[in-house]
Amino acid sequence: MKKILIALEIEEKDKEAVRRCAQEAGVDCEIVFTTSAEATEEQIREANFILGNVSPKKIGASENLDVLQLFSAGADPYMPKGVLAEKTVLCNATGAYGQAVSEHAFALTMMLLKKLHLYRSSQLRCRWEDHGTVRSLAESTVLVVGLGDIGLSYARLVKAMGARVIGVKRRAGVCPEGVDELVLTEEIDRVLPEADVVFSILPGTPETAFFYTAERFRAMKNSALFINCGRGNAVAHDVLLEALQNGEIAGAAIDVCQTEPLPADSPLWQEEKLVITPHVAGNFHHASIYRGILKIALGNLACYLSGKPLGNIVDLSTGYKK
């Protein structure tokens, strides 16, 4: 008997879809429905297949666990040695977040370009103020750092507005639709000075920690905008604040922070040229995310039960989907 743990709050119709997966595969399954927060250590360590971002400590490198299917794209907490047994296959939800996060990032980009954050501040102060000229994406150069599902979705949005798009990725390949030029990560310093907008959607890996250094911000145009919806530790708080205060870049918007929640006494809150959203671009704030996760998870559950190859497998050496 296979023990399936669904550690994610799902709708009744989707619980029935999980049961159908087992029936269609002809495998005798014990299926438990709970949430990641409420899943017990016993349930986790007995499970053969888990859907959910359960506590890494409770997994304890269980030899029973064949597949851990996350509902997040990031897999950082599950990558260190000792969290998962060597036999366990880690799968993420890359592909479920493209629409939601790219639209959020696009909205932040337009907010900064049109100075809407400044007008909102004026409104709250009951001030009828003109904040001067604004800019357009048309004929701008946008640097997309991280060309996965989210990066490509964002690239297509800004491309549709007339931007020239430079994509940055780890490995060489064919330049995808919506991208005008493709460069490798190690070439980023060459193209940073060209960018009017830098959108970062890097995952959390040792190589991407504090990727945006003070030197890199100084290399950008002083009119450039920086948008981060990837990982908060891609840039240190003090480095970003200094770049804004010194006029090395014109503005920034972040959905992720080096420390979360961002402390109330952080000077970032008071920086007028910075827009902050509290890590809400993804999560389950848009219906497409839930639907995408269920599609990936049910597909992998069916493959697991029928002995077929899994999708969305995470490379534990890089944190990226293979």
Query: Which residues are marked as active site?
Result: 231, 260, 279
Residue 143 CA, chain-centre distance (Å), reads: 17
Beta strands per DSSP E along 188-314: 197-200, 225-228, 251-254, 274-276
* Contact status, residue 166 vs residue 187, Cβ threshold 8 Å: no
Give the whole-angstrom CA distance, residue 231 versus residue 321.
16
At a CB cut-off of 8 Å and minimum separation 6, what does 15 contact?
6, 33
> What is the greatest pairwise CA distance in the chain?
68
Integer Cα distance of 180 and 54 in angstroms = 40
Number of H helices and E strands in the chain, helices first, is 10, 12
Between helix 98-113 and helix 287-306 the angle, nearest 10°, is 150
Tokens of 231: 């990982």
Residue 151's nearest CA partner among 185, 119, 120, 186 is 185
Residue pair 70/53 in contact (Cβ under 8 Å)? The answer is yes
Written as six digits, the tokens of 83 are 């969290």
Q: Annotate 92-151 with DSSP letters as a single string.
A: --TTSSHHHHHHHHHHHHHHHHTTHHHHHHHHHTT----------STT-EEEEE--SHHH
